[in-house]
Every structure is written in C-alpha cells, then in structure tokens.
C-alpha cells in the first residue's frame, strides 16, 4: 500500500498552520477552545480527521456550519490555499444552544442558521464570532456541566476502561450515564472511553520509541490485541503500526 509522503513524519507541518486562541472568560464554561487552520497545497491532500466528542461551529468559504460529534474518522480534501475558523464546544455543553438532544446531530453537518437563526456571521472573524456567542449565552445547565465533568473524568482517568467504572465514580447507574451522554454529549460513554484510551496510544506514538502492542492493549483494558487493533482501525482508519508512521 502506497501513501502520500506528506502525511509521514509530521510532514504536514510544512503545509498547514494551526492556532488555538483562548475564548473570552464568559464563554469558557461552554467553549473548550477556538481553532484556526490555514493550508497551502499545490496538489490536493487527503487530510485524515479523527473524532473527539465535541460539537464544532465552523466558518469556511463564507459558510457557517454546526458539526455534530462524528463517530469515526473522516477525510477532508485540502487543495490550494484555505482557511477555517472553528469553535469547539465543551463536550456536553452545546445542548443548551441546540435546544434538543445532541444525538440528533451526531454524524451530521447542519447550517449554523438552523441552530442560531439568520444573524450568524458569514466570515471567519474571531472577534465577530465571539460577540455573536456572548450575545446568545444560555442559562447555566447543571446537567450540561455534569456531562462535561464526566467526559473530563474519562479523559483524565486512564483507569476508566468500562462504563461501569465511570458510573461508579459518578455515583450514577449505567443507564443514567448512557442517557446523560445521549442527551448532552451526542454519543455513548463506551465510545468516549474508547476514544480517550486510544488517544493515549497516539501520545505514545508521538513520543517515539518501541511500543509493546500486546502489553499496551492489555493496559487499555482489551482482552486481546486483535480487539484493540479492530477498535483502532475503526476509529482512525488505519492499523496502529501504519498510523504510527505519521509520527
């Protein structure tokens, strides 16, 4: 199998520039970060995008879209020069803006006007977007913040490999955790646990050195290496040894 040399050994940094401006303090209960991507490719490049449990508001080419949580990797073709400004909402914290279960937009891209009305800025200007969001801050929603805290517990807890463990930490039933995630995060807690445990794999890849794949699979709570490889390929679109070449 041949691959684009521009995706090997962090070569993408020659063609793309990324920035992550901080949102205003009043937005931080709702917004995890802003993100900005600029690129310049003479030949089209297939950018692999791996998912996290965030809803995004993105501005590109005069269009503004709400991007629901994506359940698997996707490919975006980058050609010529381009620019995107995005808002990554904290997991669970887009529900008060949407006014409906976040699972209704999972794996969907909807025009931002469908959610926010006709006055959405049509240009990726951080100051204008920030003013727009500050004017539309919802009332505090304790369940939204509880969902955000639950996702943070997964991200920060390498010992959380099962939904039952998370439910016990949160003092909830398994079914209660599943309902909370469907309503506020947009995807199930099992998926979120798998995503963050697999993120630890990519961190080890980035650090370099040899990886004991069988031992790593066991550390992440997998019964065997085969199940780990299948999950990784489902999430990232490549087996782990192939994906590691990106670093």
SS3 content of the chain, % helix, strand, coil (to 5): 45, 20, 35
Same domain, 159 and 231: yes
For the residues 77-96, what does the mean pLDDT come to?
96
Same domain, 148 and 95: no
Token duo for residue 94: 């887009």
Same domain, 15 and 105: yes
Same domain, 28 and 67: yes
Q: Which residues contact 117 (CB under 8 A, 6 or more apart)?
A: none
> Angle between the 189-207 and 163-170 helix axes, to the nearest 10 degrees?
110
Same domain, 173 and 225: yes
Cβ-based burial of 113 (10 A; exposed 0-12, middle 13-18, buried ≥19): middle
Q: Measuring CA to CA, how many Å separate 79 from each of 3, 14, 20, 45?
A: 17, 14, 22, 6
Same domain, 147 and 60: no
Confidence of residue 144 (pLDDT cuts 50, 70, 90): very high
State how many domains the chain has.
Answer: 2
Look at residues 105, 134, 163 and tell me which one is the last residue of a structural domain: 134
Domain of 130? 5-134
How many other CB atoms sit within 10 Å of the CB of residue 54? 24
Q: Measuring CA to CA, how many Å separate 194 from each of 7, 19, 115, 185, 190?
A: 24, 27, 29, 15, 6
Same domain, 27 and 120: yes
* Average pLDDT of the chain, as a whole number: 93
Amino acid 222: pLDDT:
87
Amino acid 208: pLDDT:
80
Confidence of residue 8 (pLDDT cuts 50, 70, 90): confident
pLDDT at residue 123 is higher than 80: no
Confidence of residue 4 (pLDDT cuts 50, 70, 90): confident
What strands, in cross-sheet order, belong to the sheet with 74-89? 16-19, 31-49, 74-89, 56-60, 63-67, 109-111
Same domain, 159 and 101: no
Residue that wins the pLDDT comparison between 241 and 70: 70
Look at residues 65, 100, 134 and tell me which one is the last residue of a structural domain: 134
Amino acid 1: pLDDT:
56
Same domain, 52 and 107: yes
Same domain, 12 and 95: yes
> Angle between the 142-156 and 163-170 helix axes, to the nearest 10 degrees?
130
């Amino acid at each position: 199998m041949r691959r684009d040399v521009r995706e090997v050994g962090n070569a993408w940094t020659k063609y793309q520039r990324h920035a992550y401006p901080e949102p205003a303090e009043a937005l931080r209960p709702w917004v995890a970060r802003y993100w900005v991507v600029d690129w310049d490719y003479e030949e089209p490049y297939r950018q692999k995008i791996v998912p996290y449990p965030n809803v995004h508001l993105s501005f590109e080419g005069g269009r503004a879209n709400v991007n629901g949580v994506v359940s698997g990797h996707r490919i975006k073709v980058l050609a010529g020069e381009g620019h995107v400004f995005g808002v990554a909402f904290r997991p669970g914290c887009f529900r008060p803006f949407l006014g409906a279960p976040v699972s209704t937009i999972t794996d969907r891209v909807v025009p931002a006007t469908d959610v926010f009305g006709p006055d959405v800025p049509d240009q990726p200007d951080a100051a204008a977007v920030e003013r727009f969001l500050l004017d539309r801050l919802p009332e505090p929603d304790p369940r939204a913040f509880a969902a955000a805290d639950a996702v943070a517990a997964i991200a920060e807890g390498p010992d959380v490999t099962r939904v039952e463990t998370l439910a016990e930490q949160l003092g909830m039933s398994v079914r209660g955790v599943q309902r909370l995630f469907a309503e506020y995060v947009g995807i199930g807690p099992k998926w979120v646990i798998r995503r963050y445990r697999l993120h630890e794999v990519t961190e080890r890849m980035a650090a370099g050195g040899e990886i004991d794949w069988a031992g790593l699979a066991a550390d992440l709570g997998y019964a065997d290496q085969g199940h780990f490889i299948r999950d990784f390929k489902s999430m990232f679109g490549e087996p782990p040894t192939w994906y590691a070449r990106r670093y």
